[in-house]
Amino acid sequence: MSLFNNKKVVVIGDRDGIPGPAIEECLKGTGCEVVFSSTECFV
């Protein structure tokens, strides 16, 4: 059982760090549903 089972997740990545799609890829197979994924620039 995963911490993310049956959870909805919002992914906000960083342009200079880890982008949203990379985090989303890591969450595959955890049982969660990614409802929003974005890569932002925090300056």
Tell the burial category of 36 from Cβ atoms under 10 Å away from its Cβ (0-12, 13-18, 19+). exposed
35 in a domain, yes or no? yes
15 in a domain, yes or no? yes
Q: What is the pLDDT of residue 2?
A: 78
Q: What is the pLDDT of residue 21?
A: 96
33 in a domain, yes or no? yes
23 in a domain, yes or no? yes
Q: What is the pLDDT of residue 1?
A: 65
27 in a domain, yes or no? yes
Q: What is the pLDDT of residue 43?
A: 82
Domain region containing 20: 8-40
pTM of the entire predicted model = 0.81
31 in a domain, yes or no? yes
Q: Output the 3-class SS for the chain.
A: CCCCCCCEEEEEEECCCCCHHHHHHHHCCCCCEEEEEEEECCC
Counted domains in the chain: 1
pLDDT digits (tens, 9 = 90+) for 1-43: 679 999 999 999 999 999 999 999 999 999 999 999 999 998 8
34 in a domain, yes or no? yes
